[in-house]
Structure 1
Amino acid sequence: MCFVMVGCKYVANAYPRQFIMTAHPAGVGLVLSGTAFFTSVEMFYVVPMIFDPNGLMYKLAWLVAIFIVYNILGNMLACHRTSSSVASLPKDRQIPIPEEKHLWEHCDHCQMLVPPRSWHCNLCRCCILRRDHHCIFTASCIGHNNYRYFFWFTVYMTIGTVLALATYLLLLIINEEIRRKYMLFHFFQLYPSFLTSGIDLLCVLVNVLFVLNVYAFIFPLMMIAFQIPTLYLNTTFYTSKDLRYNLGFRENFKCLMGTRGLWTFLSPAIKSPLLHDGTKWETKQPIVSIC
């Protein structure tokens, strides 16, 4: 994972325009196609083999699936459409007041002063408020204004893939016919009946789906593993050791998610105003300017 990230960062810095033209469509397309594929497989193939299609549990599974897909795509779209650039500030807030000027830093690319925790993105060609990182899966920079949407996007991606893997494993447990086609089951049982029973289309499908489920589960799990410490400590992806802004979990959560806090989990459409515009950051200790 680290190797991939370092490689992507190198290519993005060396060829920013080409990177955007290829990585953005690929990342967004992967999310859209993956969501459509796993939702279709789960709801039209796996779940009907576990629950009665006319029963309550099947209908409940559909409601859960729709809710998860809505939050994945809704937060993804909101993240893309919400700008965290310094230019999104009102004109009067793009210039520091005299009391704050010593906290702002000069951006050599934009040739202007920018607020604390803001830094330049070569791909977006602008400075981003509390920039976390540039995300190819939402085709946008993750910063102060859209971090809430990105965090819940990764959470629902994780929830969705966990449930997909869980239902698939449940199918293997309760369905003997499917289990006989599951390669690792025969390896664990240490008998060669798998080879003698032959390989058919169902066998290939069962094993390919399992591998895809595992990969689909691991990737968002790694994404959320990076974001939980960021939210808990009020840091960013590239400044994980800077704990000056850590005011405790409750304050950090409210600062990044807005005044409605945990309610934002339910829907990207819920309005949750942030505590400030991204230019004033309270710290544990006063920031001393170095002349």
Structure 2
Amino acid sequence: MCFIVTGCKYVAQMYPKQFALVVHPCAVGLILAGTVFFTSVEMFYVVPLIVGTEGLLYKIAWLVTIFIVFNLLGNMLACYRTDSSVENLPIDRQVPTPEEEHLWHHCDYCQVLRPPRSWHCKLCKSCILRRDHHCIFTATCIGHNNYRYFFWFLVYMMIGTFLSLATHLILFIINEDMRKNYFLFYLVRLDFTYLQKIYEFGFQFNCINLILVLNVYSFIFPLIMLGYQIRTIYLNTTFYTATSDLKYNQGPRKNFKTLMGKRGLWTFFSPVIRSPLLHDGTQWETKYLDINNC
């Protein structure tokens, strides 16, 4: 994971324009294609083998799926469309007041003073308020204004891929005919003779196991990223300052509301729920100073 992040960061810094032109469409397309693919496999193949297609459970499964996909793609779109750049601030808030000026820092790229916790992004070509990192899967920087959407985007990606894995496990347990199509069946039995005759297994065996492997990787990635972000919320840090800048930590509850807005956990249910942030991202309360002095 660290190797991938470091590699992407290096290439993005060296070739920002080419990186954005190539990597952003590929990464966004991967999310869209993966969502359509796993949704189709689960709802038209795996789930019908578990509960059928006529009963109430299948209808409930569709409602849950629609809810997850709506929040996954909705938060992804809202993250992209929500501007966290300093330039999005009112003109009078883009310059410090005399008492705040010593807390702002100079941006070598923009050649102006910028608020605390804002940093320049070469890909976005602007300074981002409380910049966390640049996300290739939403094709934008994650900052003060759109962090909420990014966090729930990760949460719903993890929920969706977890439920997809869970349906495979349930199918493996309850459907004796399908069980032998999973290599898990042979691993659990410590029966490795199937490796000698794997070419004899049909198209269904190869497809279902490939899907399962892809599902495992699709689950692990958001799970790891979510681990980073839970720590970020808990300590009110950022992806790149996870352990080096703890002075903004005001406790888990206040940190959560600072990043998610006044409605807090209600934002889990939909990206369209309005949740005003506590401030505009230029003034940050610390353990040592009040908000008017930091």
Asked if 1:161 is matched to 2:161, the reply is yes
> TM-score of the superposition, structure 2-length normalised?
0.95
CA distance in 2, matches of 1:190, 1:255: 51
1:33 Cα deviation after fit: 0.3
Query: 1:248 is matched with which residue: 248, 251, 262?
Result: 251
| CA offsets 1:105-132 (integer angstroms, 9 cap, x no match) | 1111101110000011111111000000
Q: Which runs of 5+ in 1 are unaligned?
A: none
* Secondary structure, aligned partner of 1:109: coil
For 1:187 and 1:106, the matched residues in 2 are separated by: 59
Q: For each residue in 1:191-235, what CA deviation from the matched residue of structure 2 results, as whole angstroms up to 9, or x when unmatched? A: 466456931111112211111111111111111111100011110
In 1, the alpha carbon distance for the partners of 2:186 and 2:81 equals 49
1:273 is aligned to 276
Q: Which residue of structure 1 lines up, in the alignment, with residue 181 of structure 2?
A: 181
**Inter-partner Cα distance in structure 2 for 1:150 and 1:127:** 18
Q: What is the identity, as a one-letter code, of the residue corresponding to 2:281? A: G
For the 8 Å contact 1:232–1:249, the answer to whether it is kept is: yes
- The residue type paired with residue 213 of structure 2 is V
Query: CA-atom RMSD, angstroms?
Result: 1.3
Flag the 1:278–1:52 CA change in 2: closer, same or farther, 3 A: same
3-state DSSP class of the match of 1:274? coil
Identity %: 66
TM-score, normalised relative to structure 1: 0.96
Find the counterpart in structure 2 of residue 121 from structure 1: 121
Query: 1:187 offset after TM fit, Å?
Result: 3.1
My pick for the range that moved more, 260-269 or 218-227, is 218-227
The answer to whether residue 16 in structure 2 is matched with residue 16 in structure 1 is: yes
| Alpha-carbon distance in structure 2 between the residues aligned to 1:133 and 1:240 | 12
**Partner of 1:130 in structure 2?**
130
Amino acid aligned to 1:259: K
When structure 1 is superposed on structure 2, of 157-166 and 207-216 the one drifting more is: 207-216
Superposition map of 1:196-235 within 5 A: 198-235=200-237
Instruction: Provide the residue aligned with 1:100 in structure 2.
Output: 100
3-state SS, counterpart of residue 116 of structure 1? coil
Q: Tell me the distance in 1 between the aligned counterparts of 2:209 and 2:240.
A: 38
- Cα deviation 1:2-33 (Å, max 9, x = unaligned): 11111111100000000001110011001000
Which of 263, 266, 275 matches 2:266? Answer: 263
CA–CA separation in structure 2 for the residues paired with 1:144 and 1:276: 10
Instruction: Report if the CA contact (8 A) 1:178-1:206 is conserved.
Output: no
**Partner-residue secondary structure (3-state), 1:106:** strand
Letter in 1 for 2:258: C
| Distance in 1 separating the partners of 2:289 and 2:180 | 65
Counterpart in the other structure of 2:35: 35
**What's the secondary structure of 2:37's corresponding residue?**
helix
Moved over 6 A (4+): none
Total equivalences in the alignment: 287
Structure 1 contact 117–130 (Cα < 8 Å) conserved:
yes
Q: CA deviation at 1:184?
A: 3.0
1:286 counterpart = 2:289: yes
**Residues of 1 paired with 2:95 and 2:183: CA distance?**
63
Identify unmatched segments of 5+ residues in structure 2.
none
Residues 99 and 171 of structure 1, relative CA distance in 2, 3 Å threshold: same
Write the distance in 1 (CA, Å) between the matches of 2:72 and 2:44: 20
Mapped to 1, the partners of 2:254 and 2:19 lie a distance apart of: 37
Inter-partner Cα distance in structure 1 for 2:191 and 2:93: 71
Q: Which amino acid aligns with 1:113?
A: L
